[in-house]
């Protein structure tokens, strides 16, 4: 069978603040898809990282009174640590300010653009530091950036390099309409097409060294200019693979890959579905094949905000409930496509109902019956779930992560009903062989649930699978929280 090569990336967050629920959501979603594709026998490269070269990082470091390099390194470590705590299976983590290949790769991409696509001009406009983007009147709501309400826009006037995005309007429209560049879900695809049809304007791809205070990647052959964060940041998807020197990973996972998928939040959809493909078209570099766009997480129905005081640190949730419980909530109870809500009250409720009293209790009941009544372990390994054929494959192929989880929990419900209806524990005296047959079937189906859970709750899946193999009741998987 020919090797299938699959590339997937999360976006690279700014490191001007600590990781929040939205970052964790994206890491988990990308990780579920990466783990699933490995189970499908694909060869996977899963990339994550941090965007260090933004102006907002410079300002945050100044406010903290520490050198920019020290500031971004400190916060980058927080993202690395969160990914480890969440059991994220990324193959590489790129930190754009220190990665040795990133600077060379970003400059190579700039030089590879067609000469007619880059030009220099003076410009005056309203700049949103939160988005790291100039805004037009059409972008604003009540004079404010809708992504960062309450934050005053900065009027900026300077000479920068611009990218002639207008050269690629027709080509981009065809790519998106035909799904050659597939945008998931359809609602986001429609938004992108609407933006393209409204007319594409050229966009700035550099900032003055004076304004960036020398932090960032220099524009090739112009010491007065620094690469604009998005030209620099977007290139990470190929610089991390070794684009600068046509490395083996770049050849394998970008030039030769079957799929190249970006997992991003809706606030940066335009950059990944319009600006990034246009840059690649100019350079002749292959485009991504899919962009999966997720929504935002609200807390108690409100946007997360330090001002409101409703920001929840994912580490706090993990400390009390564990990584898999957090992964479970994000995978099943947060829509992959629309905005989702999180409160500790909701989390605790579903934790007790679906994990402590649900999966955890079910696993303990089945394996206690097996441990006490079966003479040897059930031969489970020939009865695993085949991801190549099933509802989970169909759901995850369409990035419907929550639907895959609903299916698994329907199987957990089936096992609960089977125990209630067949009552194997009551049959042990009057019909022990029948009872043992029922218990064996329960173990086999619990093993199958464990296999299905592997991309979603990897530690729990391993504990369940191992318990069925050695015929032993697992330790309390999800202790009830009162």
Residues forming the active site: 20, 23, 128, 131, 145, 148, 303, 306
Q: Give CA angle at 328 (322, 329), nearest 5°.
A: 100
Quote the CA–CA distance of 401 and 393 in Å, as a whole number: 10
Quote the CA–CA distance of 266 and 293 in Å, as a whole number: 6
Residue 327 and residue 82 in contact, taking contact as beta carbons nearer than 8 Å: no
Sign of the torsion formed by the C-alpha atoms of 334, 335, 336 and 341: negative
Does residue 185 have a cis bond before it (omega within 30 degrees)?
A: yes
Cβ-based neighbours of 274, under 8 Å, separated by 6 or more: 165, 172, 192, 195, 196, 200
Residues paired with residue 126 on neighbouring β-strands, in sequence order: 135, 155
Which of 111, 23, 15, 21 is CA-nearest to residue 69? 15
The DSSP 8-state label assigned to residue 273 in this structure reads I
Residue 306 and residue 210 in contact, taking contact as beta carbons nearer than 8 Å: no
The DSSP 8-state label assigned to residue 200 in this structure reads P
Tokens 């729990």 -> residue: 460
Residue 450 and residue 39 in contact, taking contact as beta carbons nearer than 8 Å: no
Residue 34 and residue 87 in contact, taking contact as beta carbons nearer than 8 Å: no
Which of 392, 381, 395 is CA-nearest to residue 453? 392
Residue 241 and residue 250 in contact, taking contact as beta carbons nearer than 8 Å: yes
Terminal C-alpha separation, the chain:
52
Buried b (16+ CB within 10 A) or exposed e, 301-333: eeebeeeeebebebbebbeebbbbbbbbbbbbb
CA distances from 311 to 16, 40, 81, 145, 461 (A): 15, 37, 19, 20, 30
Long-range CB contacts (< 8 A, 24+ apart) of 100-103? 101/239, 101/240, 101/242, 101/243, 101/244, 101/245, 101/247, 102/217, 102/235, 102/236, 102/239, 102/240, 103/217
């Amino acid at each position: 069978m020919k090797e299938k090569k699959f590339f997937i990336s999360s976006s690279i967050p700014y490191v001007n603040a600590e990781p929040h629920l939205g970052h964790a959501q994206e890491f988990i979603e990308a990780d579920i898809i990466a783990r699933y594709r490995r189970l499908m026998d694909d060869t996977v490269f899963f990339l994550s990282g941090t965007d260090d070269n933004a102006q907002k990082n410079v300002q945050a470091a100044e406010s903290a009174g520490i050198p920019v390099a020290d500031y971004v390194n400190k916060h980058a470590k927080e993202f690395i640590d969160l990914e480890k705590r969440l059991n994220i299976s990324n193959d590489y983590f790129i930190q754009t300010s220190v990665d040795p290949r990133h600077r060379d790769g970003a400059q190579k991409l700039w030089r590879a653009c067609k000469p007619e696509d880059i030009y220099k001009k003076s410009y005056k406009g309203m700049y949103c530091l939160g988005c790291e983007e100039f805004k037009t009147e059409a972008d604003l709501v009540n004079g404010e950036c809708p992504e960062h309400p309450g934050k005053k826009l900065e009027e900026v006037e300077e000479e920068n390099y611009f990218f002639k995005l207008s050269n690629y309007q027709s080509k981009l429209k065809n790519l998106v309409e035909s799904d050659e560049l597939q945008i998931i879900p359809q609602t986001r695809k429609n938004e992108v097409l609407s933006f393209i049809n409204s007319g594409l304007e050229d966009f700035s791809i550099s900032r003055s060294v004076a304004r960036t205070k020398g932090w960032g990647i220099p524009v090739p052959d112009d010491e007065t200019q620094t690469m604009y964060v998005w030209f620099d940041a977007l290139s990470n998807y190929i610089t991390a693979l070794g684009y600068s020197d046509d490395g083996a990973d770049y050849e394998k996972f970008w030039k030769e890959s079957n799929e190249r998928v970006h997992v991003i939040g809706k606030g940066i959809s335009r950059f990944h579905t319009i600006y990034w493909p246009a840059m690649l078209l100019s350079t002749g570099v292959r485009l991504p094949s899919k962009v999966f766009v997720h929504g935002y997480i609200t807390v108690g129905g409100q946007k997360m905000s330090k001002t409101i005081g409703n920001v929840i640190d994912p580490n706090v949730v993990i400390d009390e409930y564990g990584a898999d419980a957090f992964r479970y909530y994000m995978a099943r109870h947060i829509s992959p496509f629309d905005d989702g809500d999180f409160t500790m009250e909701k989390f605790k409720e579903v934790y007790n109902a679906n994990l402590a009293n649900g999966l955890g209790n079910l696993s303990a009941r089945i394996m206690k019956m097996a441990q006490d009544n079966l003479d040897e372990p059930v031969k489970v390994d020939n009865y695993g779930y085949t991801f190549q054929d099933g509802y989970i494959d169909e759901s995850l192929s369409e990035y419907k992560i929550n639907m895959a989880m609903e299916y698994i929990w329907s199987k957990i419900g089936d096992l609960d009903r089977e125990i209630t209806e067949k009552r194997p524990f009551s049959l042990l005296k009057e019909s022990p062989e029948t009872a043992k047959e029922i218990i064996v079937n329960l173990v086999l189906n619990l093993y199958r649930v464990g296999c299905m859970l592997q991309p979603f709750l990897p530690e729990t899946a391993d504990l369940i699978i191992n318990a069925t193999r050695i015929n032993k009741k697992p330790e309390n998987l999800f202790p009830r929280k009162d």
